[in-house]
Structure 1
Amino acid sequence: MGLTGSIKGVAEIGRLAQGLTEVFVPNRTAAQALDHEAQRAALDQLEAEFGRSGRGGFDHAVDGLNRLPRPLLALGTLGLFVYAMSAPVGFAARMQGLAYVPDPLWWLLGAIVSFYFGAREMHYLRRPSVRPRPAAVHSAWEAGPAPETGEDADNPALAEWRSGRS
């Protein structure tokens, strides 16, 4: 009876020690399970959002239109440079025409562009990001001294360093 009680006591001490060590060093298995659950939840969310759920042609057309403003602005600006070089007189006439646009209309254009890109930026800032945890990196410094090999024998600096450490 005494032996059984002492074995149970040792097991209890082991469980307490494990619980105490998990305060300082997290349980890697549990952390990996939680990371896996978070990754799976993110993938399920993406599948629900972007999966083929019987969306019609209209939805695909609107998605395509939503992807157009940034490329059109970039390519349109490059097109203005090409137009200015190829037809400077026509370009100058159009730019003089822009001088007649009233200020409130410029403000409205600025507000529309700002809200479009600002809302897009806020969308990406507000959504939760699940990033995979990088793998642990073990360097030669953490691994301890390397065993003496034949290829290290011809390196006098390495031999001196090893002999000075021991």
Structure 2
Amino acid sequence: MGLIPTVMSFLFGDNRNVIVETAQIFRENAENGAVRDASARNDSLTQLAAEFARPQRGLFDRMVDGLNRLPRPALALGTIWLFAMAMQDPERFAKGMEGLALVPEPLWWLMGAIVSFYFGARHQVKSQEFQRAIVQSLSVSKALQAPSARPADNPALSAWQAKNGE
């Protein structure tokens, strides 16, 4: 066996390429890096989706959620009712406001804390639901992404090629 076949066998024999293997020590293989990055992104999205996954909600959960929707409209409508009452029956409105003036200040602080915690918790729940919806839409859009169309699948390009004789 000659020198050249021996060197070629050493470099490229057994389905390996010593030059490429040596180059990959100093520079990352772009294709393998892209595969690893895509796999990492997919794993991250899968984990995030699992964190925000909700089990099927029962009747009790739906009823409690319905009750949780009542305080804000009740507060808004109650405030509007106070304005209407002040215009319709000023004496009764004045007596009601005098009654509110008799409420001790610590009770007002307690009421403020309860309302603040209620709306803060509600804001957090809505924020988490929003994040969950984003993760679900990302996973759906990722599943719906089709591989890019090949030139043969493009009707306009096929017509152009037929017209130009290619």
TM-score, normalised via structure 2 length? 0.53
CA RMSD of aligned residues (A): 3.7
1:5-154, aligned counterparts within 5 Å?
5-7=10-12, 8-19=17-28, 27-47=33-53, 49-52=54-57, 55=58, 57-121=59-123
CA distance in 2, matches of 1:78, 1:12: 76
Closer/same/farther in 2, CA of residues 83 and 34 from structure 1, 3 Å limit: farther
CA distance in 1, matches of 2:44, 2:108: 46
Cα offset, 1:20, TM superposition: 8.2
| Equivalent residues, number | 125
Closer/same/farther in 2, CA of residues 50 and 11 from structure 1, 3 Å limit: same
Cα offset, 1:99, TM superposition: 0.7
Flag the structure with larger Rg. Answer: 2
Q: Please list the CA deviations of residues 11-47 of structure 1 after superposition, one character each: whole Å capped at 9, or x if unmatched.
A: 213422443879xxxx444333333333333334444
Paired residue type of 1:115? F
SS in 2 for 1:51: coil
Paired residue type of 2:24? R
Closer/same/farther in 2, CA of residues 16 and 112 from structure 1, 3 Å limit: same
CA distance in 2, matches of 1:51, 1:124: 17
Q: Please list the CA deviations of residues 54-81 of structure 1 after superposition, one character each: whole Å capped at 9, or x if unmatched.
A: x2x3332122212322333233333333
Q: Please list the CA deviations of residues 98-143 of structure 1 after superposition, one character each: whole Å capped at 9, or x if unmatched.
A: 111122221221221233234445667899x58679xxxxxxxxxx
CA distance in 2, matches of 1:60, 1:126: 17
Give the share of equivalent positions with the same residue, in percent: 40
CA distance in 2, matches of 1:125, 1:59: 18
CA distance in 1, matches of 2:41, 2:89: 59
CA distance in 2, matches of 1:90, 1:107: 26
Q: 5+ unaligned residues in a row in structure 1: which ranges?
A: 134-166
SS in 2 for 1:101: coil
CA distance in 1, matches of 2:112, 2:82: 19
Q: 5+ unaligned residues in a row in structure 2: which ranges?
A: 1-5, 139-166
Paired residue type of 1:63? D
Closer/same/farther in 2, CA of residues 14 and 85 from structure 1, 3 Å limit: farther
Closer/same/farther in 2, CA of residues 96 and 125 from structure 1, 3 Å limit: same
TM-score, normalised via structure 1 length? 0.53
